[in-house]
């Protein structure tokens, strides 16, 4: 992940992230396509993936921090702020992928649409890198299944219905 350019932002010191702090990143660096991401703060190799903005469906985006360990006060504070979420194990629980030692449960510093269900990045228990690999495998398998169905239809001479 070190090849991703990042800004020299200071370390995270609070779960409260003012919109002004990431507004430019959202508008100029994140992009609009689903799945785009921008690494705001670098990770530490084999420890955590840093702070990452991810574009989700319908213009929704989240900011996750894998390297910040919240205090008890911040756990309580997050319960009152809809855009912030601190799941159990955030900042300390290891990735669920066998052999991966990075942090697998991030803090969600911001969710642009907190009424939507939590992102897999937040609830999957995988570090960012492993979750991206899993997503890519799923996407590839879906494409492969579609291709196989089309190939089978061609083999049996099936012709799609026209309206």
Give percent of the chain with pLDDT exceeding 90.
58
Spatial contact of 27 and 62, defined as CB atoms under 8 Å apart: no
Quick check: 48 pLDDT over 80?
yes
Q: Pick from 147, 145, 144, 150: which is nearest to 160 by CA?
A: 150
Give 3-state DSSP helix, strand, coil % of the chain, rounded to 5.
Answer: 35, 15, 50
pTM of the model: 0.77
Quick check: 95 pLDDT over 60?
yes
Tokens coding 142: 């879906």
Quick check: 130 pLDDT over 60?
yes
Give percent of the chain with pLDDT exceeding 70.
79
């Amino acid at each position: 992940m070190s090849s991703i350019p990042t800004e020299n932002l200071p370390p995270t010191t609070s779960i409260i992230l003012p919109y002004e702090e990431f507004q430019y990143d959202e508008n100029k660096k994140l992009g609009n396509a689903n799945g785009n991401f921008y690494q705001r703060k670098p990770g530490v190799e084999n420890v955590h993936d840093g702070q990452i903005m991810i574009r989700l469906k319908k213009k929704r985006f989240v900011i996750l921090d894998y390297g910040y360990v919240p205090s008890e006060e911040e756990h309580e504070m997050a319960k009152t702020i809809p855009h912030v979420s601190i799941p159990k194990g955030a900042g300390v629980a290891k990735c669920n992928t066998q052999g991966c030692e990075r942090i697998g449960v991030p803090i969600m510093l911001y969710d642009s649409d907190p009424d939507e269900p939590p992102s897999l990045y937040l609830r999957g228990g995988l570090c960012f890198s492993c979750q991206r690999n899993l997503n890519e495998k799923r996407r590839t398998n879906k494409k492969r299944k579609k291709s196989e169905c089309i190939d089978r239809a061609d083999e049996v001479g099936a012709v799609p219905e026209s309206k």
